[in-house]
Amino acid sequence: MNKNNIGVQRGSSKNFIEVAAQSQPPELEREAWSLAGEPKVTLAAEDVRLRYTIYADSPGRSFIRGRRKRQSVPAVRGVSLIVREGEMVGLVGLNGSGKSSLLRVLAGSEPATSGYVFASSQPQLLGVSAALVPDLSGLDNIWLGTLAMGMDPDQAHDAKDKIIELADIGHAIRQPMRTYSSGMAARLRFAISVAAQPEILMIDEALATGDAAFHKRSEDAMHELLDRSGTVFLVSHAAKTIEDLCTRAIWLHKGAVVADGPATEVARLYRFFAHALANDNKEGADKALLRARDEHPPTTFQSRGSTR
C-alpha cells in the first residue's frame, strides 16, 4: 500500500484546522488566519516510528524443538501530525494497528525508535490498567496521584473534593483500590487525571468500562478541557463514539496513517471498512479504505518517507 499521498488531490471542503494542518496554503492565507486568532499548535510529531524487539516462535517451531527467534516488529511506521488547541482527535483502527503504541509515544511514555514529538506541555495519558497502588485506599491514591502530577499540597487538597465528586464511587473511595471493579478504577483514574487540568489529555480505551452515567460526566469533563483551549486524544474501538465525540479522526492501519480528517467522515468510512471486514467483504473494505485515503490524506512533510 502506498503510504504516501503527496500528489493526491486534496479535498476542498475542510475546516480551517485541516487546511492549516495538512496542506500548504498560500502564505497570505496563513497570515490571515493567525490574525483571526488561529488556534495554537499543541502537539506536533514528525515521522514517528516505533519498533518492539520481541522473541517470537519461528515458523514451524514445535513445542519441543525449534528456537525462538529474536525479531524487531514495527508498531508505528512513520506518523506525522500537527494538532491544535480545541481539537478532539479520535484514533481508529483494527486491533494491533498501533493506536495505543502511537498514543504512548505521543505522551512520551515510550521513547520513539526514531522521529520527534513536540508538545506545549506534558500530555496526561490515561491507559487501561487496573489500580494505581492496589493496597492503598481510593483517597490515598488521590492524594498520591495529585502529588505525582506535581501539585503542591494546597492544590492537591483543593482538587480532592472535585475528584471525589467526578469519580462518584461512593463509600468505595475509602476502600483499598484492589477491591475496585474495572469500571470504578477507571472512574477514579479519569477523575485524578482531569484534576490537574492537563492541556493535553490522551485517553486509551479507559472509558470503555464506565457506565452510561459516567460517560456523560466524562464527556462534560472533556468538553470543559477543550473549552480551556486544551486538546484531547481518544482511542476507542467503537468508531461510533469517535464519530459522535471527536472533531477529527486519524485512521491507523498496520502502524501507518491511512486517513486524517473530520471525524464524521473518516470514522464513518472506518465503520464501513470494519463492517465489510466482519462480513468477509474484502472488496468493500478496500474500497472504504482507499476512499478515506483519497479524500482525507494524512499529513506528510517529506517525500523520503515513501522510500522507507
Partner 1 sequence: MASGNHRGTGIFRRSISRRLSPEFKEELDGLPGVANLKRVGERPRIGNYLADLWDRRLFIYVGARGEASTSHSRDRLGLLWLIIRPLLDAVFYYVIFALLLKVDRGMDNFIAWLLVGLFMFQFTQRSMTAGVTLIRSSKSMIRAFAFPRASLAFANVTRELLLAVPSFVTMLLLIALIPPHAWPTGLMFLMVPMLAVQLLLNLGLVLFLARLGAMLPDFARLMSFIQRVLFYGSGVIIPITRFDMPQWVEAVITSNPLFVMLEMYRSILVYGEAPPAGDWLHFLAWAVGAFLVGFVVFWWAEESYGRE
The least CB distance from residue 76 to partner 1, in Å, is 13
Binding status of residue 155 toward partner 1 by CB under 8 A: no
Query: Going residue by residue from 13 to 42, which x/- string records binding to partner 1, judged by CB under 8 A?
Result: -------x---x--x--xx--x---xxxxx
Question: Binders of partner 1 among 227-286, rule CB under 8 A?
Answer: none
Q: Applying CB under 8 A, which of residues 71, 129, 181, 197 lies at the interface with partner 1? A: 129
Under the phi-then-psi rule, with left for phi > 0, alpha for psi from -120 to 50, and beta for the rest, what region is 41? beta
Binding status of residue 84 toward partner 1 by CB under 8 A: yes
Number of CB atoms found within 10 A of residue 176's CB: 16
| Of 102-110, 207-215, 269-277, 289-297: span binding partner 1 (CB under 8 A) | 102-110
Q: 74 vs 127, which CB is nearer to partner 1?
A: 127
Q: Applying CB under 8 A, which of residues 82, 166, 173, 207 lies at the interface with partner 1? A: 82
Q: Could you tell me how many residues of this chain bind partner 1 (CB under 8 A)?
A: 65
**Residue 154, all three cell numbers:** 494546597
Binding status of residue 296 toward partner 1 by CB under 8 A: no
Q: Applying CB under 8 A, which of residues 76, 119, 222, 256 lies at the interface with partner 1? A: 119
Q: 201 vs 267, which CB is nearer to partner 1?
A: 201
H or E segment to which residue 278 belongs? helix 263-278
The least CB distance from residue 256 to partner 1, in Å, is 17
Q: Applying CB under 8 A, which of residues 11, 51, 94, 136 lies at the interface with partner 1? A: 136
Q: How far is CA 213 from the centre of its chain?
A: 23
Taken as a whole, the chain contains a residue count of 308
The CA distance from 117 to 45, in Å, is: 4
Pick the closest to residue 196 from 126, 254, 137 (CA basis).
126
Pick the closest to residue 252 from 43, 59, 85, 80 (CA basis).
80
Binding status of residue 85 toward partner 1 by CB under 8 A: yes
Binding status of residue 112 toward partner 1 by CB under 8 A: yes
Binding status of residue 125 toward partner 1 by CB under 8 A: yes
- Can you tell me whether residue 60 is helix, strand or coil? coil
H or E segment to which residue 17 belongs? helix 16-22
Kindly state the DSSP code that residue 255 receives in the 8-state scheme: T
The CA distance from 7 to 27, in Å, is: 20
Beta bridge partners of 41: 84
| Of 147-155, 167-175, 234-242, 269-277: span binding partner 1 (CB under 8 A) | 147-155
Binding status of residue 127 toward partner 1 by CB under 8 A: yes
Question: In whole angstroms, how large is the CA radius of gyration of the chain?
Answer: 21
Pick the closest to residue 260 from 219, 226, 301, 221 (CA basis).
301
Q: 122 vs 281, which CB is nearer to partner 1?
A: 122
Q: Applying CB under 8 A, which of residues 46, 87, 205, 295 lies at the interface with partner 1? A: 46
Residue given cell 512513520 in the structure block:
78
Beta bridge partners of 69: 56
- Residue numbers at the binding site for partner 1 (CB under 8 A): 20, 24, 27, 30-31, 34, 38-44, 46-47, 52, 80, 82, 84-85, 104-112, 116-127, 129-133, 135-136, 140, 143-145, 147-150, 152-153, 176, 189, 192-193, 301-302, 304
